[in-house]
Structure 1
């Protein structure tokens, strides 16, 4: 059977199901949500639109399984997670094609996502023997203070549609190794990746109820999961609006939250930068995954001495980008949905109405073989004010505007003039500026003389409205553990 035939067969088998208590179930009486291929608008499968009852069932299964899962030595939990990582790589070809079918990123980028999915799990597994504590001296005679780390209990993961597999693993890996059980709400636009992970979880042999997957719309099943008293920690990747709603809903039970929200990354290029290197990075950081990355180059601040040269090269490179069927590895695949295409078009119109100058006009492709899909040609603009909506609001698509600056200080001021604080870029050959950047730029993640792409041992965190907590590395792993203090007195 060919890879394509395998992929379509997997999607067919997973359609209509949830994964609860170690088994795939077909919930009765629920509306279904069709899953569309963004490249041609064809329906490739469907999932149940989960409700409060389905949420309760999944959380109950996770709650029942949690104490025995946490009682296992961490290294035993880690071995299962590492086996899942290996199983994902074993099925890499099929998994990548599932991602392309439902999300639309080019195939080589989908392979990269599968690799990242396995890496998140493997790194989490490597933390098993690093779950430590402290013994502190006491003010009292023959007494010690012991600080230990314990699992929270049941963790709910709410993932975005731009990286449906990697984001699930980014949350599930550390949660599981730390001793929590996990309920994944796999986004209704891209639910098959989460269900495929569940299939591989079943093949690996995880205990029943440790990993569960449901699907449905955020205002219904998402709210039911967030509001449930049996949930101890919520890890969510998504919009600021959704994060604010979760923040408010979780307050009644004082749940622990880890929220990765929107971004509006400034891309600063100084007069002493390597222009070609900066252009290469700007292209990669804007147009990878059709601009649907929270750390993308969202607004460019170009020193006036190099702005003309930079824009000429940037536009030339942008015009050469290949747009097409994501299965044949173009530079740009489609946006994930027709609604996203419309949103981007409205944002460009607002920028033009504000007075931004269009340097390269793109937009929805309405003719030829790509017309049925959600394909957008890139648009490049130049702003005259940092107040432009294209300089202030997250675009999340293949559109970027630029603004000229006359100094490093002005660039920093404009860059920090935002409610977001996820990521920022700086290109310069000045060691002074590079050293000052972490003190001056108010963002949780900085890319200095390089394109985006965080690593599993780092720490991915947002400031301001870009979120709470963070993911990855030692710091991200520690967020899935709570601390307990014991005062042990031996003066007996």
Structure 2
């Protein structure tokens, strides 16, 4: 039995992971919340609490921002880029060295399968590795002002940055925000979702052990109302990176406006997967399945709408339904095909969408019901679900379910598919499956989305900028554009 298997066996025996972080992470160490209050974190695969964590509030947020501001002014902003890069590179190495423990914590906290959590941990390490290499490549420009003048620009760190981290991808979303912020010379206050606090705390400890000075990264756990709202509205915050719902994103924008605080908002989507008659059928089937059922459909960029050309729709859907019915459910530590959803409240929300669809006469091709772990009868599960062709104004087409529910739309040809794909208020990502590369790139140009995948859904990585249009938000994370999100440009013009 290897080390990971032994740790999984221990978790199964005890119901928890030993030595989880205890407290908020402030000024280089763990400490209890000022109020001394705690909250429980639940294992979605069982529907039971497995650990408790500190319930921070506005006083803790203020202490974290003060610590981050002090660390920014005391030297992190002026730390040589090459030294920042060395610290971030050590972070990547430590994440990989402790990958088993991080993945199991993520699996318990979020419910996702262990394989998915392992992929997220590797992605977090890659984010720190990528931005470690970018620290000393953040170059300004010179301006041709003519003889007798010198003009140039500087990329300066914006200051203290706030990161509101969602529950569906806790460690990977934290890494894609923290790594570029730290690379640019900013300091950080992170607020993980109340459902999934632990890997952000574990990451902060890793950063410290890699050599990050005290106060440069702080983590305040707690509820959105008690910790999140005071953080995004704090006058000491220079930039907010938020990933979450449209409704909450609007509140964040309004709060940030009081202090004219910069924002990057990633607010979800209703992303289409366009499948045309000349597609590679096997690649398209696998892509559609992964796009909607990975992480139980709880992905902002999930391919939740299948826009398929009529000529192949019947045979494609027949095979897609057959494969969907073979998907296994279960606790994430057993590595089934699909794990649970995040909470009882979210399960009820998903079920509500499907039940309303039933009352509208929707044809449910497969799934459509609340389920449980077949081995234990526990947990918050929803069957992988496919719902037949719905009109463009249907709720299942227009609104984000954020669960394992795929809605089908039938297109007459590529142009009709484009019209259907663009027919929602969201614009995060889109997928295209076709063997005609000319058609693929023509559609890619006209799709109203921040990112387009061609012949492989979720293609790309940390190198590729990510963000949306319309209700999906604005600003970009990942890639070098993500690094620039944490910089302000200063121009200098001098007469010589």
TM-score band w.r.t. shorter chain: over 0.9
Q: 1:3 aligns with which of 2, 7, 13?
A: 7
Cα gap change, 1:9/1:314 in structure 2, threshold over 3 Å: closer, same or farther? Answer: closer
Residue by residue over 1:358-384, the C-alpha shift from the partner in whole angstroms, topping out at 9 and shown as x without a partner, is 111332115853432012211211134
Q: Does 1:480 find its partner at 2:486?
A: yes
Q: 2:216 aligns with which of 210, 219, 223?
A: 210
Moved more, 430-439 or 109-118: 430-439
Give the unaligned 5+ runs of structure 1: none
Q: Is the 8 A contact 1:354 1:388 kept in 2?
A: no
Structure 2: distance between partners of 1:134 and 1:366: 58
Cα gap change, 1:181/1:472 in structure 2, threshold over 3 Å: closer, same or farther? Answer: same
Structure 2: distance between partners of 1:454 and 1:214: 31
Structure 1: distance between partners of 2:111 and 2:67: 33
Residue by residue over 1:206-264, the C-alpha shift from the partner in whole angstroms, topping out at 9 and shown as x without a partner, is 11100111111112211111111110000111111111111111111111101111111
Q: How many residues are paired up? A: 489
Task: Please list, as runs of the form range in 1=range in 2, the aligned pairs for 1:104-123 lying within 5 A after superposition.
Answer: 104-123=111-130
Task: Please list, as runs of the form range in 1=range in 2, the aligned pairs for 1:295-334 lying within 5 A after superposition.
Answer: 295-334=301-340
Structure 2: distance between partners of 1:23 and 1:15: 10
Name the counterpart of 1:190. Answer: 196
Q: 1:71 aligns with which of 48, 69, 78?
A: 78
Task: Please list, as runs of the form range in 1=range in 2, the aligned pairs for 1:277-426 lying within 5 A after superposition.
Answer: 277-365=283-371, 368-426=374-432
SS state at 1:215 partner = coil
SS state at 1:99 partner = helix
TM-aligned CA deviation for residue 32 of structure 1: 2.0
Name the counterpart of 1:240. Answer: 246
Q: 1:138 aligns with which of 139, 142, 145?
A: 145
Structure 1: distance between partners of 2:367 and 2:183: 48
Cα gap change, 1:6/1:149 in structure 2, threshold over 3 Å: closer, same or farther? Answer: farther
Structure 1: distance between partners of 2:203 and 2:16: 12
Name the counterpart of 1:250. Answer: 256
Q: Is the 8 A contact 2:331 2:373 kept in 1?
A: no
Moved more, 214-223 or 23-32: 23-32
Q: Is the 8 A contact 2:372 2:379 kept in 1?
A: no
Give the aligned CA root-mean-square deviation in angstroms. 1.7
Name the counterpart of 1:147. Answer: 153
Name the counterpart of 1:129. Answer: 136
Structure 1: distance between partners of 2:338 and 2:216: 37
Q: Is the 8 A contact 1:12 1:45 kept in 2?
A: no
Cα gap change, 1:453/1:343 in structure 2, threshold over 3 Å: closer, same or farther? Answer: farther
Q: Is the 8 A contact 1:51 1:216 kept in 2?
A: yes
TM-aligned CA deviation for residue 166 of structure 1: 0.6
Structure 2: distance between partners of 1:307 and 1:271: 9
Name the counterpart of 1:90. Answer: 97
Cα gap change, 1:299/1:245 in structure 2, threshold over 3 Å: closer, same or farther? Answer: same
TM-aligned CA deviation for residue 453 of structure 1: 4.3
Q: Is the 8 A contact 1:11 1:192 kept in 2?
A: no
Structure 2: distance between partners of 1:138 and 1:18: 51
Moved more, 164-173 or 374-383: 374-383
Give the unaligned 5+ runs of structure 2: none
Residue by residue over 1:143-188, the C-alpha shift from the partner in whole angstroms, topping out at 9 and shown as x without a partner, is 1111111000001111101111011110000100110001110111
Structure 1: distance between partners of 2:44 and 2:372: 14
Structure 2: distance between partners of 1:143 and 1:298: 55
Q: TM-score, normalised by structure 2?
A: 0.95
Residue by residue over 1:316-352, the C-alpha shift from the partner in whole angstroms, topping out at 9 and shown as x without a partner, is 1101111112112110011111111111000111222
Structure 2: distance between partners of 1:432 and 1:103: 40
TM-aligned CA deviation for residue 10 of structure 1: 9.1
Structure 2: distance between partners of 1:5 and 1:154: 41
Cα gap change, 1:24/1:242 in structure 2, threshold over 3 Å: closer, same or farther? Answer: same
Q: TM-score, normalised by structure 1?
A: 0.96
Cα gap change, 1:27/1:361 in structure 2, threshold over 3 Å: closer, same or farther? Answer: closer
Structure 1: distance between partners of 2:45 and 2:27: 34
